[in-house]
Amino acid sequence: MSPKKPDADVPPSLLLVDKAPGMTSHDVVARARRVLSVRKVGHAGTLDPMATGLLVLGVGAATRLLGHLSGSDKTYEATIRLGQTTVTDDREGDVTATASAAAVTEDAVRAALAGQVGPLQQVPSSVSAVKVDGRRSYDRVRAGEEFELAARSVTVHRIDVHGVRRPTPELVDVDVTVSCSTGTYIRAIARDVGTVLGVGGHLTALRRTSSGPFATTDARPVEDAAGALAGPGSGPGVLGLTDAARAVFPARELTAEEAVALGYGQRVPATGAPGLHAAVAPDGRLVALVEDAGSVARVAVGFPPG
């Protein structure tokens, strides 16, 4: 195994990964670390092993962007199966109840899904990474503990129905696209739609197609994206630090004097617009993420040279 390189030897970047099924988000990070031979790699927005699609990785100083990316809206393609309930609310869990969906009409399915659009108080799946008294809820389920998760505020912007199929006379499969806020559980939507219809429901397929400004159309398998960064340092699936920040935040073009001042943690004249801005030096280097504080802009996240 090759020795670990200093993280500074690999340019700070975002990797847009198209996650394969069966991998945890941690598995993806581990593979990127192995290909790049660096330590500092993280991810934004966990995907379950069953799920595929976009997982954004940060390498080196780009990991400082990940906390801001996690809060972005997401889009998913999913298949909901009505007529069966599982312990995990997806196909990976044991079936705990069945009820014939033979009498469920397409109109009823669409109406139930429409009821899941808008601001919601959603109870996450019990087999999830949500912490209860400091422990992951899935660990408590595996230990046989009984507990209730608190509902959380989420927003589902839209649910588009692409098809309603009957794989058997007793089951209904529904193909949907869901656009939602961060923290929304698509398998909880499947569970709750099944509950409304009185037949139970779970998720059989899930693919994240976008997160904020990034989409699977620009993503690659983790080995390919990491390999591109390890080689020429650019290519499909790789965004350098400044390009990544510009994709997420409005740009604040700095003068040379302002770039030096921010590098020392000093304040510069206000940007004049709310929210974080990517402060970019005249040479194209990302200096900081800045936000206004009255008449001045202050450093929220700094990116020292090198």
Residues with catalytic function: 48
**Residue keyed to tokens 């996650």:** 19
**Residue keyed to tokens 């397409």:** 106
- Residue 303: what are its φ and ψ, rounded to 5°? -130, 90
Contact in structure between 282 and 255 (CB atoms under 8 Å): yes
Contact in structure between 120 and 178 (CB atoms under 8 Å): no
Distance in angstroms (rounded) separating the CA atoms of residues 59 and 244 = 12
Distances (CA, A) of 172 to 93, 108, 218: 18, 12, 33
Distance in angstroms (rounded) separating the CA atoms of residues 124 and 138 = 11
- Cα–Cα–Cα angle for 200, 206, 212, rounded to 5 degrees: 125
Contact in structure between 268 and 280 (CB atoms under 8 Å): no
Kindly state the tokens that stand for 299: 């450093």
Contact in structure between 152 and 181 (CB atoms under 8 Å): no
222-230 vs 25-36: helix crossing angle, rounded to 10? 30
Distance in angstroms (rounded) separating the CA atoms of residues 71 and 27 = 22
Contact in structure between 35 and 230 (CB atoms under 8 Å): yes
Distance in angstroms (rounded) separating the CA atoms of residues 110 and 197 = 11
